[in-house]
Amino acid sequence: MSDVLTRFLSQKLAEVKEKGLYSPIDVLDGANGPLISIDGKEKINLASNNYLGFATHPAVIQAANDATTIYGAGAGAVRTINGTLAIHEELEQRLARFKWTEAAIAFQSGFNCNMGAISAVMTKNDAILSDELNHASIIDGCRLSRAEIIRVKHSDMADLAQKAKQAVESGRYDKIMYITDGVFSMDGDVANLPEIVEIAEKYQLIVYVDDAHGSGVMGQGAGTVKHFGLQASVDFQMGTLSKAIGVVGGYVAGSRQLISWLKSQSRPFLFSTSLTPGAAGAVIKAIDLMETDPGIVTALWDNAAYFKEKLIAAGYDIGVSETPITPVILGDEKLTQTFAAKLIAEGVYVKPIVFPTVPLGAGRVRNMPTAVHTKQMLDEAVSIYKKVGRDMGII
Ligand SMILES: *Cc1c(COP(=O)(O)O)cnc(C)c1O
C-alpha cells in the first residue's frame, strides 16, 4: 500500500476517533423490522426509516421474488443502452400516478437522484437558494451543478424572499432554484410550501422539494406537496423509495418535458445500471398496498401520536416535530451518547444524533415509530425510557 495513503489514513482515522466521530457499525442478525436482533439480543427498533413496515411486508417480498423470476436478478445494462425493462416503465408510470404528475424518472437511490437531477438542470450561470438544513445529497447535488449556492436560514421565509429578490436584482443568473426538504429529518418539521410557492411565483424561482421523509407519511401517503395541494406549483417532486416505501431507489416526478430532459441528461440514469427488477417490482407493490389500504398510513400516525404523548407525559422534551419523527432532545453530546447506549442495552434500539449532524448543544435521540409497531412494543419502549431517564436523573 502507498506510504502516503497509509500516513493520511492513520492520521485522519486518529483524528475522527479523537473527536468521537467514528462509531462502530451494528450488524443486524436478520430483517430490519419493528423488532431487530443484534448479537442474538432482541430489541425494539426505533431507528429505521421503514415507516410503513414495507421492508418486511410478505406481499412486497413476494413481488420482489416474482419480478426477479420474470426479469432476472439484474437489469443487465444502464437505462439508455438496453437496461430499461417493462417493469421500469411500469414503475415510472406508477410513480407519476402516485405523485399526481405527468411523468416520473426512477434512479438507483435517492442520493444519486439528487446528484443527477439537480446537476442536469442547474449550471454555473445559475443560483440555488438552499435551506441550511437540507440533506447531504442535496448539498452535493448543488455543488456538482457548479451553480452559486446561497444558503437560506432554516424555514425562514423572510430570508428566502430577501435573498430571492437580491439574486433576481443582481441580474447575474440565468435561472434561480429554491430547494428544500419537504420534511426535515432531524426535527420532523415540515417546509412551509404554501409560502415557498408564493415567493417562487413572485421571483420566478424553480421549486425543488425533496420529500424523502414526506412520501408515504404526509398527504395520505402522497407526500407534502399533495398535502398542501401544490402539485401544479412544484417543479421537482423528488423522493426516495428506501424510506416509507421500504425498498431502494429514488425518483423525480414532474412534467413530461422535465422528465424527458432528465432521461436524456442526468448522469446516473445514463451511466449507472438501472434498479434491479426485484426492487422495481417490490416498490410497485408497496405503492399499491399504501393506496388501497389507507389504514397503513393511519396506523403510522396513530402509533406516533401514542408514543409522543407517553414520552411527553414521562417528562421528555420532544421538540417541534409535526410528523412521526420523534426526537428526544437532551442537549449535551456526551449525555446523549450515554443515554442512547443505556437505552440500547435495556432493549430499545435508537440512534444518538449529535454535532455536526445537529447544532452543538442540540444532541438528541431520534425515534422512528412505524405503522407495524404494536402498542405493547411502544409501551415497553416508554417504560425503558422512564427507567433509564430516572436512573440518569434526566426526568
Ligand atoms: C434519506 C434521504 C435521501 C437519500 O435517499 P436514499 O434513497 O437513501 O439514497 C435524500 N434526501 C433526503 C432528505 C433523505 O432524508
Catalytic residue among 48, 130, 137, 185: 185
The predicted structure's pLDDT at residue 234: 98
Ligand 1 lined by 250 (C-beta under 6 Å) = yes
240 lines ligand 1 (CB under 6 A): yes
- CATH code that applies to domain 58-292: 3.40.640.10
Can you give the pLDDT of all 395 residues of the chain as single tens digits? Answer: 899 999 999 999 999 888 877 888 999 999 999 999 999 999 999 999 999 999 999 999 999 999 999 999 999 999 999 999 999 999 999 999 999 999 999 999 999 999 999 999 999 999 999 999 999 999 999 999 999 999 999 999 999 999 999 999 999 999 999 999 999 999 999 999 999 999 999 999 999 999 999 999 999 999 999 999 999 999 999 999 999 999 999 999 999 999 999 999 999 999 999 999 999 999 999 999 999 999 999 999 999 999 999 999 999 999 999 999 999 999 999 999 999 999 999 999 999 999 888 889 999 999 999 999 999 999 999 999 999 999 999 99
Instruction: Look at residue 1 in the predicted model and tell me its pLDDT.
Output: 86
The secondary structure element, H or E, covering residue 385 is helix 375-391
Contact 42/235 with Cβ under 8 angstroms? Answer: no
Which cell goes with 47? 431507528
Q: What is the pLDDT of residue 355?
A: 87
| 92 dihedral zone (left: phi>0; alpha: psi -120 to 50; beta) | alpha
The residues spanned by each domain of the chain are: 21-50+294-391, 58-292
User: Is 242 labeled as catalytic in the residue annotation?
Assistant: no
Reference 240, options 110, 115, 103; nearest CA is 110
Name every residue whose Cβ is closer than 8 Å to that of residue 169 and which is 6 or more positions away in sequence: none
Number of Cα atoms under 13 Å in the Cβ half of residue 165: 7
Relative orientation angle of helices 375-391 and 295-314, to the nearest 10 degrees: 20
Closest CA to 60 of 278, 368, 371, 298: 278
- How many Å lie between the centroid of ligand 1 and the Cα of residue 19? 26
pLDDT digits (tens, 9 = 90+) for 1-36: 899 999 999 999 999 888 877 888 999 999 999 999
pLDDT at 22: 82
Catalytic residue among 213, 226, 227, 373: 213
Task: List the one residue out of 158, 163, 124, 162 whose CA is nearest residue 143.
Answer: 124
CA distances for 47 relative to 33, 155, 302, 314, 367, angstroms: 10, 25, 18, 20, 6
Q: Which atom of ligand 1 is nearest to the CA of 111?
A: 9
Q: What is the pLDDT of residue 21?
A: 77
Please, what's the b/e burial string for 350-366 (b: 16 or more CB within 10 A of its CB; e: otherwise)? bbbbbeebbeeebbbbb
Ligand 1 pocket residue status of 215, Cβ below 6 Å: no
Q: Which fold has domain 21-50+294-391?
A: Aspartate Aminotransferase, domain 1 (3.90.1150)
DSSP one-letter string for 134-168? --HHHHHHHHHHTPEEEEE-TT-HHHHHHHHHHHH
Q: Is 17 among the residues known to form the active site?
A: no
Identify the DSSP state of 212: T
pLDDT at 194: 98
196 CB under 6 A from ligand 1? no
Q: Which of 185, 240, 242 to mutate to test the pocket of ligand 1 (most atoms within 8 A of CB)?
A: 240
| Nearest-CA residue for atom 6 of ligand 1 | 110
The grid coordinates of residue 390 equal 430516572
Is 260 designated active site? Answer: no
Residues contacting 89, CB < 8 A, separation 6+: none
Residue type, 372: V
Whether this prediction's pTM lies above 0.85 is answered by yes
- Number of the ligand 1 atom closest to the C-alpha atom of 240: 7
Residues 6+ apart with CB under 8 A from 226: 99, 100, 218, 219, 220
Compute, in degrees rounded to 10, the torsion defined by CA atoms 153, 157, 159, 163. Answer: 110
Q: Which atom of ligand 1 is nearest to the CA of 211?
A: 13
Residue 20: the pLDDT is 75
CA distances (Å), 73 to each of 63, 98, 230, in order?
A: 13, 26, 38
3 state DSSP class of 6: helix
